């Protein structure tokens, strides 16, 4: 019973923490420089890893998709298959998992170290609310950065699948792009955007929550960082299933 109670209490704490961030959103948005810094920290600094992984995922999609479609003589549909897979699922999910490992851990350890070195308490003593000054800008920065990273991941991924499918395996270039243009609809893009925003909220919220509630020791910061990755990954996959089911009207 005890772990169940603790889990429920933790979910309650995260919800209350989210409320306190929402209350601080207005004042935080009034200082856009802080948010721009955080979009840079979470977004721009994750670009290389996102682009690299996007390229590899796209290339694998090109290979596997071609093998599968060739069995039914439908290699020409490779562009559609790869793009839909990336837009609706792989783009948001893989980006969120990478975000949790790269930007999420950085957020948690940064805020956790601020806790351990009394910087957050010092702010409180200077009558400055750390939620408003430290937590909210990082949360907003993460939520803005995620859809942008997903877009970059998708673009590079589509290029990767094109590279393998068209350049190496010989699918017709015109068919690859025209079929994609005909089959991919705005609602497919929207599904990806909704998912990326949802994952942005989840990963950023869990990262700042864990950092803010870190036990102020070296071990505490390490534990919080681990919890950020684990909780963000599990929640991302769970919410992905729920959103997919909702979009498919199940």
Partner 1 sequence: MIDRSPLPDPIIDVRGLHYGVEGRKIFDGVDITVERGSITAVMGPSGTGKTTLLRLITGQSVPSAGSVKVFGEDIGGYGRQGLLALRRRMGMLFQNGALLTDLDVFENVAFPVRQHTKLPEPLLRRLVLMKLEAVGLRGAAKLMPQELSGGMARRVALARAIVMDPEILIYDEPFVGLDPISMGMVCRLIRELNDALGITSIVVSHDVQEVGTIADRSYLLAGGKVVASGNAEQLQATHDPAVRQFMDGLPDGPVPFHYPAGDYRSQLLDAGDLK
Task: Point out which residues bind partner 1 (CB under 8 A).
Answer: 113-114, 117-119, 121-129, 133
Listed in sequence order, the residues at least 6 apart from 123 whose beta carbon sits closer than 8 Å to its beta carbon are 129, 130, 133, 134
Burial class (CB in 10 A: 0-12, 13-18, 19+), 212: buried
What is the closest distance, in whole angstroms, from the C-beta atom of residue 120 to partner 1 in the complex?
A: 9
Q: Which is nearer to partner 1, 125 or 248 (CB)?
A: 125
Cβ atoms of 108 and 115 within 8 Å: the answer is no
| Cβ 137 to partner 1 shortest distance, Å | 12
Q: How far is the CB of 133 from partner 1 (least distance, A)?
A: 8
Count of C-beta atoms within a 10 Å radius of residue 245: 10
- C-beta atoms surrounding 160 within 10 Å: 24
Q: Decide whether 130 or 200 has the Cβ nearer to partner 1.
A: 130
Q: Which residues, other chains included, contact 162 with Cβ-Cβ below 8 Å and sequence gap of 6+?
A: 58, 62, 79, 176
Name the residue nearer to partner 1 (CB basis): 88 or 132: 132
Pick the closer one to partner 1 by CB: 83 or 225. 225
**CB nearer partner 1, residue 132 or residue 227:** 132
Residue whose CB is less far from partner 1, 36 or 122? 122
- Closest CA relative to residue 41, chosen from 141, 136, 154: 141
Please state the closest distance from residue 134 (CB atom) to partner 1, in A: 9
In angstroms, give the least distance from the CB of 127 to partner 1: 4
What 3-state class would DSSP assign to 62? Answer: helix
Kindly state the smallest distance separating residue 221's Cβ from partner 1, in Å.
Answer: 14
DSSP 147-214: HHHHHHHHHHHHHHHHIIIIIIT---HHHHHHHHHHH--HHHHHHHHHHHHHHHHHHHHHHHHHHHT-
């Amino acid at each position: 019973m005890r772990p169940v109670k603790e889990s429920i209490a933790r979910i309650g704490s995260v919800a209350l923490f989210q409320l306190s961030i929402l209350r601080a959103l207005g004042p935080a948005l009034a200082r856009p420089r802080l948010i721009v810094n955080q979009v840079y920290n979470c977004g721009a600094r994750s670009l290389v890893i996102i682009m690299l992984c996007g390229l590899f995922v796209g290339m694998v999609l090109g290979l596997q998709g071609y093998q599968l479609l060739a069995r039914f003589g439908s290699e020409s549909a490779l562009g559609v298959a790869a793009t839909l897979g990336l837009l609706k699922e792989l783009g948001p999910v893989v980006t969120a998992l990478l975000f949790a490992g790269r930007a999420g851990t950085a957020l948690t350890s940064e805020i956790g170290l601020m806790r351990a070195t009394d910087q957050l308490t010092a702010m409180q003593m200077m009558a400055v609310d750390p939620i408003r000054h430290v937590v909210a800008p990082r949360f907003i920065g993460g939520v803005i950065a995620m859809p942008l990273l997903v877009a970059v991941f998708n673009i590079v991924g589509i290029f990767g699948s094109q590279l393998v499918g068209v350049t190496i395996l010989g699918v017709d270039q015109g068919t690859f792009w025209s079929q994609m243009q005909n089959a991919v609809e705005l609602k497919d893009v929207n599904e990806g955007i909704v998912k990326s925003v949802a994952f942005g909220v989840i990963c950023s919220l869990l990262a700042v929550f864990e950092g803010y509630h870190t036990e102020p020791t070296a071990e505490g910061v390490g534990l919080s960082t681990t919890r950020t990755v684990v909780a963000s990954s599990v929640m991302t996959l769970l919410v992905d299933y729920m959103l997919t089911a909702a979009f498919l009207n199940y």
